[in-house]
Structure 1
Amino acid sequence: MTQQLYLMRHGETLFNSLHRIQGASDSPLTAKGISDAQKVGQYLKAQGITFDHAYASTQERASDTLEYITKQPYERLKGLKEWNFGVFEGQSEVLNPHDDPQRHSYGDFFVQYGGESDVQVQKRMVQTLTEVMERPQHQQVLAVSHGGASFMFLRRWLDWQEVQQRVHFTNCCILQFSYANQQFTFEKTIDALH
C-alpha cells in the first residue's frame, strides 16, 4: 500500500482576519477557524479517512486545529513551523514584498530582517516530513502546518504552473501526497469546506 501524507493548513486565526503577517509569531484561532476545523474533522470521518499517526507544528494555531479534527494522540514538531518573517512579524500584510518572479515566492527577502529564506523553509519542511514518513508503520499520516511552509513544501514537488492550475490553497485545506522512495507526489487538494 502506498503511503499517504495529508498536509493541512491550520484554521483561520485572528491575524489572518486582521491581515497581519504571521509566521514565527502566533495568534489564536477565530470562531470561524474552530468551526472550519471541526467541519474538516466531520468530513474526514464521513469519507472514512483515518490516520495511523498525526503531527502538528509547535505553534498553537496548528496544534489547536489538529485537536478539533481528531482526538487521537499526536506529536508536535518544530520542523513544521511557519516561515519566520523576522521583524515583519505582526505587521500589516501590505508590507509583504512582491514575489520573486523566478522563484514565485518571497525568496531571500526576509533573511536581512532576521527571518528565513524560501529555500531554508523548504529544506526543513522536506527534511521533517521525509523523516516522519520513514518512521515504521506510517501509512496514513496527518500533518498540520502553515500556509507559507506548506506552499514551499508543495513547490519542491510541483512546478509553478501546476500549482496555479491544481491547488486551491485556503485555511483548512489539505494537500494529499503519496510517498515512496523518499519522494512525494502531489495527488490532490482536499477542500472540505467548499
Structure 2
Amino acid sequence: MVKELYLMRHGQTLFNQLHRIQGASDSPLTAQGIADAKEVGQYFKAQQLSFDHAYSSTQERACDTLECITSQPYQRLKGLKEWNFGVFEGQSEQLNPKNDSQRHSYGDFFVQYGGEADYEVRERMNQTLTEIMQQPTHDRVLAVSHGGACFMFLQKWLSYAEIQRRVTDFHNCCILKLTFANDQFNFVESINVKKLKQEK
C-alpha cells in the first residue's frame, strides 16, 4: 500500500526575519509565521485533506506551527529537529560557510564547533520518518520540521540536480509531499500555499 507524507517547514520566526542562524536554538514565530501556518490549515480543509497522525520536531517553532494548522493530537520527536550548528547558533547568517561543492551542503564544517555533520542530519531524519511511516494506520501523515533538516532528507532520495529542478519553492511553511511504499520515499511535489492563493 502506498502511503502519503506531508513534510512541512515551520512558519517564519524572529531569527528568520533577522537572518540569524537557527538550528538547535529557537525563536518564536512572527505574526507572519502564524498567519501563514493558519493558511496552510485552511488549505488542507479546502482540499479535504485529513491526517491519520501528526508529528513535530520538539522545537517550539515547529510545534507552534503545527498547532496553528490543526487541533488534532500530535507527537513531538527529537529526530525531526533542525541541524545543530554548534557555536554558530544565533549568529548572523553571513557567517555560514560556502557549500561543499561535492556534497551540496555545509558538509562536516560545524562538527569542529560542536554541531552536526550533514550526513548525521540526513540519516536521523530518514530513520525517524521511515519509522513513522512504517507504523500501521499511518496512511497519511503530517510532519513539521525545519529547512536544513528537510533539505538533507531530500538529498537521501533525490540528486541535487533533481532537487533544484523539482523543488521549486522551499520557503517557510512550504510542504513537501512524498509517497512511501516498500520502505522507499518518492518525492511528488512541493506545495507553497501562499503562492497558490496568489495565483487564483
Counterpart of 1:139 in structure 2 is 139
Counterpart of 1:44 in structure 2 is 44
Counterpart of 1:129 in structure 2 is 129
C-alpha displacement at 1:125, in angstroms?
0.2
Q: Secondary structure at the match of 1:125?
A: helix
Determine if the alignment matches structure 1 residue 154 to structure 2 residue 127: no
Structure 1 runs not aligned, ≥5 long: none
Counterpart of 2:57 in structure 1 is 57
Structure 2 runs not aligned, ≥5 long: 196-200
CA distance in 2: counterparts of 1:97 and 1:127, whole angstroms: 27
Counterpart of 2:189 in structure 1 is 188
Determine if the alignment matches structure 1 residue 77 to structure 2 residue 77: yes
Paired letter, 1:112: Q
Counterpart of 2:10 in structure 1 is 10
CA distance in 1: counterparts of 2:99 and 2:8, whole angstroms: 23
Counterpart of 1:178 in structure 2 is 179
Counterpart of 1:31 in structure 2 is 31
Q: Secondary structure at the match of 2:72?
A: coil
Paired letter, 1:178: T
Paired letter, 1:97: P
Paired letter, 2:8: M
Paired letter, 2:42: Q
Determine if the alignment matches structure 1 residue 163 to structure 2 residue 163: yes
RMSD of aligned residue pairs (Cα, Å) = 0.6
C-alpha displacement at 1:136, in angstroms?
1.1
C-alpha displacement at 1:50, in angstroms?
1.0
Identity of aligned residues (%): 71
C-alpha displacement at 1:110, in angstroms?
0.2
Q: What TM-score results when the alignment is normalised by the length of structure 1?
A: 0.99
C-alpha displacement at 1:69, in angstroms?
0.3
C-alpha displacement at 1:162, in angstroms?
1.1
Q: Secondary structure at the match of 1:22?
A: coil
Q: What TM-score results when the alignment is normalised by the length of structure 2?
A: 0.96
Q: Secondary structure at the match of 1:193?
A: helix
C-alpha displacement at 1:49, in angstroms?
1.1
C-alpha displacement at 1:33, in angstroms?
0.1
CA distance in 2: counterparts of 1:191 and 1:166, whole angstroms: 13
Would you identify which runs of 4 or more consecutive aligned residues in structure 1 move more than 6 Å? none
C-alpha displacement at 1:181, in angstroms?
1.0
CA distance in 2: counterparts of 1:52 and 1:151, whole angstroms: 24
Paired letter, 2:88: F
Equivalent pairs counted in the alignment come to 194
Paired letter, 1:71: S
C-alpha displacement at 1:134, in angstroms?
0.8
CA distance in 1: counterparts of 2:15 and 2:133, whole angstroms: 31
C-alpha displacement at 1:75, in angstroms?
0.2
Counterpart of 2:67 in structure 1 is 67
